[in-house]
Amino acid sequence: MSGIALAGLAWTALVVLLTWLASLARHDVSLVDRVWPVCIVGAGLVYFALVPGHTPRGLCMAVLGTAWAVRLCLYITWRNWGHGEDRRYQAIRARNQPGFAFKSLYLVFALQAVLAWIVSAPFLPGMTAARPLGWIDVVGIALALFGLFFEAIGDAQMARFKADAANKGKVMDRGLWRYTRHPNYFGEACVWWGLWLIAIGGAGLGGAWTVVSPLLMTWLLLKVSGVSMLEADIGERRPAYRDYIARTNAFVPGPVRHSKSEAS
């Protein structure tokens, strides 16, 4: 099994190396965001291809993972098309000059390859387990599907909001965004907790170690490249967002709270 796992790491390394070369030509490190889902699920599909005999569980995980990756890859590519390098990566570039072109290979791309490989962990025991599908698998499938639709709906609502010129400068607080400031991130976390449950359904406690995947993904979404980074200075740039923070949960959906301004 270790050989199969290393084949997944080789896949993520190859994808990010090619993307790094493209980023040198485009002067755009944020290209890595577009291939992030390709790295993760590509590793899972490598496992699927190398494991002898395909089980219903393995096929289910492959379909769920591919659906997640294709949607997210296409959405990020469409959203970022023509906008150049994301400001988050511009800040990283500025902090690591001179020589960022080479430094980005290990500061951004190699790191992403390793992280993507770790996140792909549930695919390995899930696709090699021979147990029949059970109730844990059903819960995992339901949670992954819920997360997939939740993040897709959230992204679609935000896209429509931004497409309306009348909303320029306003804070999106409608639809799912009324109950959580980041429905896309919450949905994504649900996908990976669901896939982990499917792995548990197949491998039992032998697959419990793959909890590193949803834990890592949730931590990244909350503390690294997600909520914390996006909201680090947004209150200064967009004062209306501070009131949105006061009345809306950051991650897990919840009831709308009354802000101080509304209470007074």
Domain spans, the chain:
2-263
The one-letter code for the residue type at 155 is: D
Distance CA(221)–CA(261), nearest Å, equals 29
Distance (Å, whole) CA 51 – CA 214: 23
**Closest Cα partner for 120 from 3, 2, 5, 1?**
5
Low-confidence residues in the chain, pLDDT < 50:
262-264
pLDDT at 259: 55
151, 183 Cβ separation under 8 angstroms = yes
3-class secondary structure, 6:
helix
Cα dihedral sign, 189-192-194-200: negative
Q: Which residues contact 38 (CB under 8 A, 6 or more apart)?
A: 15, 69, 73
pLDDT at 1: 66
pLDDT reported for residue 264:
42
| Cα distance between residue 95 and residue 152, in whole Å | 33
Give the tokens for residue 36: 């992030």
Q: Could you tell me if 75 and 156 are in contact, meaning their C-beta atoms sit under 8 angstroms apart?
A: no
Whole-angstrom distance, CA of residue 50 vs CA of residue 166: 52
Whether residue 108 contacts residue 89, with contact meaning beta carbons closer than 8 Å, is answered with yes
Contact status, residue 131 vs residue 205, Cβ threshold 8 Å:
no
